[in-house]
Amino acid sequence: MKGMSTSFSGSENNLVSLTKTPAFVKIIGFSFLCLSLLIILRSFSSDITTVSNPTTPSLKFPMSFTSAPTAGDNPSPPPSAEAAVPELRQPGMERTGIVDENGAMTNEFVVGEFDEEVIDSVVDEKNGSDENGGGVLRGKIGKFKVCDESMRDYIPCLDNMEGSLERHCPPKGKGLDCLVPWPKGYKLRITWPKSRDEIWLSNVARTPFAKGKAGNKSVVRKGDKYIFPGDRTQFAQGVNQYLDQISKMVPEIAFGQRTRVVMDISCGIASFGAYLMDRNVSTLSIATKDVHNNQIQFALERGVPAMFTAFTTHRLLYPSQAFDMIHCSRCSINWTRDDGILLLEVNRMLRAGGYFIWAAEPVHKHEENLFALLKEMEDLTRRLCWELLKKEGDIYIWRKPLNNSCYLSRAPAVQPSLCSAGDDPDNVWNVNLTKCITQLPENGYGANVTAWPARLHSPPDRLFSIKMDAELSRREIYKAESNFWYSIIKGYIGAFRWEKLSLRNVLDMRAVYGGFAAALHDFNFDCWVMNVVPVSGPNTLPVLYDRGFIGVMHDWCEPFDTYPRTYDLVHAAALFSVEKNRCNVTTIMLEIDRILRPGGRVYIRDTKPVIEELVEIAQALGWVSFKYDSSEGPHSHWKLLIGEKRL
């Protein structure tokens, strides 16, 4: 025992001596460091494996395009990236919250940086609407009632004054407050391209227009359908033969290449635009709401771009140099009246070097009246510096000049005069027509767009003429917007089976640069998009037309000039958060319901407080609705609302 004790004491002394050596201290320090790193790495691993809802694609691009995000150098073609995947939560992201009296954090917390706009929107939600009627709704909403049967084709700003062709919207508080009913026997639309030639009888108004057209054999009633024979239109030899004749008269028109965007004035049932689609031409068919008040309804039911336009005292709601060609056949417009003020408006909208085609003969039945009108027309177009390229029968084709040289070389007394340098030809909302010639940009902007389809993804020069905050990063913003919507639509296709929707008539309520429409084209959806640029934001309409799209300026505090049951899909990105301080959001939702076809869908992407309110309104409208988190997770301020208006 004594020996063992002595041995143990010696070992103890050796151990004490060892712990005092520098090597031992280093080993202990290194072990402590490894243990600390292991704990940190396990915490980091826990963070990065937490993902958000995978059902919707990532919303990485800001919904207000005034900053300078980065993107790839080449937007054409769009990126062939995989379907959008959920974004992982980044390590080190701040997590803040409210600690209650027991020391526990509540569920009310913010992930990420402090966002003043989001917090302000929550405060606004609690404080109520502003003095202008904007803001959000309070309390529970009951079901909206159905309007009287007589309102099934109601257009609020065009149907409230007898005999007026121009917009007269209902005063504040007198707007639509009920659901516009659809006709008895309404059926899901016939899909394109079959709908070009036939539509359901029950889906359009039965008016004298339909009977008259049936008598003209351009519309034939057959059983429960209206039939549109392409060889029995206002064009004697049929639409395709008429288009071939135009191409032979002036081959430089080059449908589908040089000529991509066309306006058809007094369009009838829009057969001209319907058949141009086969030639890769996007045609906007316009007409006034007159005694033939459902010709636009026929066009829209067929699946052809069309809308009401009052060609009277105000500028049309399209930018300068919008259309590569403007067409008017058998229209009853007297172009030379009032010093040619209506033709001057055509000149404003016509692209430099663009074509004006006029089939003149049916305007006046008496030969002597027609002869005098033609003389006046030739004189007016000469003073406008238009070149008469070809005349064949009753078809006249003029070309607008490429620059201002002809205008500036005219004698000083020649009328009409040039518009002042301060005139903004793209300012179109509630602007009166003027008797002057819109000058072309000295830098050639608008005349130098590339041919289709290259122009779809090529940033146009007019991108730099838009009045907005960003100055040096516009090309990057343009490319980033296209890339963003490409990835979003790819995600929609994967998550929501968009390929089965049979889209045809689509409305983008806040189009910005048209990235949404471009993505639909890139994914080969056989549809057209009405791109709307709200008056509350930058006027990007010229860029949309330079890309080869159609669009219009509009104030969403007022109804849209189209029939009920126009669109299969209505898309709104960051619209309500912008407009809620100007407009009543319930009124906008009622307007969406009015113009949405039964069986159609609504996709609304906006901030969380806005979506929470819209969910309640959607239920009151009778939509079947679903709310989704964006892939940033349940605490992101961006959400997605999908509504379906079931038949």
pLDDT in tens, 23-70: 655 666 666 666 666 655 554 444 433 333 333 333 334 443 333 333
3-state class (DSSP) for residue 139 = coil
The pLDDT of 587-615, averaged and rounded, is 97
CB–CB of 209/294 below 8 Å? yes
Task: Give the single-character DSSP code of 108.
Answer: -
Question: Which region, left, alpha or beta, applies to residue 633 given φ > 0 means left and ψ of -120 to 50 means alpha?
Answer: left
Q: What letter does residue 238 receive in the DSSP assignment?
A: -
Indicate whether 287 pLDDT > 70: yes
Least confident of 53-67, 351-365, 459-473, 570-584: 53-67
Predicted local distance difference test score (pLDDT) of residue 289: 84
Q: Which residues pair with 222 in a beta bridge?
A: 225
pLDDT for the residue 39: 59
User: What are the tokens at 467?
Assistant: 């009045």
Query: Using an 8 Å Cβ cutoff, are 520 and 527 in contact?
Result: yes
CA-CA distance, 384 to 381, in Å (whole number)?
5
Contact, 67 vs 481, CB < 8 A? Answer: no
Whether the CB-CB separation of 234 and 275 falls below 8 Å is answered with no
Has residue 495 got a pLDDT over 80? yes
Closest by CA position to 597, among listed 506, 496, 493, 500:
506
Residue 507, strand partner residues: 530, 570
pLDDT at 467: 85
Residues with Cβ < 8 Å from 442, sequence gap 6 or more?
403, 404
Percentage, residues of the chain above pLDDT 90: 62
The per-residue pLDDT for 421 is 87
Token digits for 421? 């340098």
pLDDT at position 361 is 64
For residues 206 and 194, give the distance between their C-alpha atoms in angstroms, rounded to a whole number: 21
Q: Which residues does residue 146 pair with via DSSP β-bridges, in sequence order?
A: 179
State residue 37's pLDDT score: 62
Nearest to 616 by CA among 138, 124, 117: 138
More confident residue, 218 or 78: 218
Q: Three-class SS of residue 302?
A: helix
Specify the pLDDT at position 216: 55
What is the number of residues in the chain? 647
Residue that wins the pLDDT comparison between 380 and 81 = 380
Q: Which residue has the tokens 């992407």?
A: 605
- Residue partners of 89: CB distance under 8 A and separation at least 6: 47, 48, 50, 51, 52, 111, 633
- Nearest Cα to Cα of residue 240 among 231, 227, 250: 231
Q: What are the φ/ψ torsions at residue 34 (nearest 5 degrees)?
A: -65, -40
Spell out the residues 6+ positions from residue 11 whose beta carbon is closer than 8 angstroms to its own. Answer: none
Do 315 and 407 contact (CB within 8 A), yes or no?
A: no
As given in the structure block, the two tokens for residue 319 are 């930018």
Q: What is the pLDDT of residue 40?
A: 54
> How much is the mean pLDDT over the chain?
81
pLDDT of res. 292? 57
Site of tokens 């009405």: 530
pLDDT, average across residues 545-561: 97
Q: Distance between CA atoms of 584 and 593, rounded to whole angstroms? A: 15
Q: How far apart are CA 482 and CA 487, in angstroms?
A: 9
Per-residue pLDDT, 9: 43
Q: What is the pLDDT of residue 614?
A: 97
Whether 264 shows a pLDDT value over 60: the answer reads yes
**220 vs 428, residue with greater confidence:** 428
**pLDDT bracket for residue 83 (50, 70, 90):** very low
First-last CA distance in the chain: 99
**Close Cβ partners of 240 (under 8 Å, ≥ 6 residues apart):** 230, 275
| pLDDT value of residue 330 | 82
For residue 102, name the pLDDT band (cuts at 50, 70, 90): very low
Q: Tell me: the pLDDT tens digits for 392-437? A: 999 999 999 999 999 999 999 999 999 998 999 999 999 999 999 9
pLDDT-based confidence at residue 630 (cuts at 50, 70, 90):
confident
Asked if residues 482 and 515 have their Cβ atoms less than 8 Å apart, the reply is yes
Most confident of 134-143, 229-238, 350-359: 350-359
Bridge-based pairing state of the strands 528-534 and 505-508: parallel
Handedness of CA 303, 308, 311, 316 (dihedral sign): negative
Residues 95-103, mean pLDDT to the nearest whole number? 40
Q: What is the full DSSP assignment across 206-232?
A: --HHHHHHHHHTSSEEETTEEE--TTS
| CA pair distance 128, 436, nearest whole angstrom | 47
Indicate the pLDDT class of residue 266, thresholds 50, 70 and 90.
confident
**Is pLDDT at 75 greater than 60 in this prediction?**
no
pLDDT higher than 80, residue 78: no
Asked if the model's pLDDT at residue 86 lies above 80, the reply is: no
Q: ∠550-552-553 over CA atoms, to 5°?
A: 150
Q: Please give the pLDDT value at position 469.
A: 75
In this prediction the pTM is: 0.80
pLDDT confidence of residue 290: 74
pLDDT at 103: 43
What sign does the CA torsion over 185, 188, 194, 195 have?
positive
Are 614 and 604 in contact by the 8 Å Cβ rule? The answer is: yes
d(CA 558, CA 549): 23
Q: How far apart are CA 522 and CA 262, in angstroms?
A: 21
CA torsion sign for 374, 376, 378, 384 is negative
621 closest CA partner among 179, 106, 91, 23? 179
Mean pLDDT of 176-192: 95
The SS3 call for residue 340 is helix
Range scoring the smallest mean pLDDT among 44-53, 334-343, 603-612: 44-53
